Amino acid sequence: MINKRIVITGGPGTGKTSVINKIEEANFFCFHEIIRSMTQEAQKSNDCTPIVSNPIISVSDPYQFNTQILNGRINQFKEAAFKRKEITFYDRGIPDVLAYMNYFNQSYDNQFITACKDHTYDQVFLLPPWEDIYVSDDERYESFEQAKEIHHHLLEIYTEFEYKCIEVPFGTIKERYDFIFKNIK
């Protein structure tokens, strides 16, 4: 069985979770975004400063936090081999870690680059910033303007690792879902 690895990515508030939920409703397997649960844990932890912006910069050790995200995504990548699914979806991929670090002007060492090179996906679908649906919440601290900047960093880093990102047009959840499935190779 061929296991295609498909990343659904985009800046905050682009509708990724809604699309992922629709994909799961259709009985496809998806690894969820791990940073939300990590953010909730960081908020509960006494080891971090109060989170008033993205936790990547708010936690006491952003590098360690990013390493934890990186390792979580690598584990998701490896776990997919045991799922025996024809297609596996990921709510964000390993390169997202570098894109966010670039956005926050944080340095990273070779382990981050090597992780991206050693764990490649078959396709990447990028959801663009969409002001009409953008909402902040308890784990999303960025403004819409910041979300647009993050989008550019995502496109840049995926392109740097030689992915051809397929931009998912605005539309209903079903229209976006249909677009993704029409464009899976």
Whole-number pLDDT of residue 12: 86
Per residue of the chain (185 residues), give pLDDT as tens: 558 999 999 998 888 989 999 999 999 999 998 876 666 665 565 454 444 445 555 577 889 989 999 999 999 999 998 887 899 999 999 999 999 999 999 999 999 999 999 999 999 999 998 878 767 665 556 777 888 999 999 999 999 999 999 999 999 999 999 999 999 98
What's the pTM? Answer: 0.87
Residue found under tokens 């936090």: 65
Widest pairwise Cα distance in the chain: 47
Distance CA(113)–CA(145), nearest Å, equals 27
Q: In whole angstroms, what is the distance from residue 41 CA to residue 36 CA?
A: 9
CATH number at 4-182? 3.40.50.300
Supply 16's token pair.
């990724």
Specify the pLDDT at position 185. 85
Domain boundaries, the chain: 4-182
Measured distance CA(94)–CA(72) in Å, rounded: 9
CA proximity to 165, closest of 157, 176, 173: 157
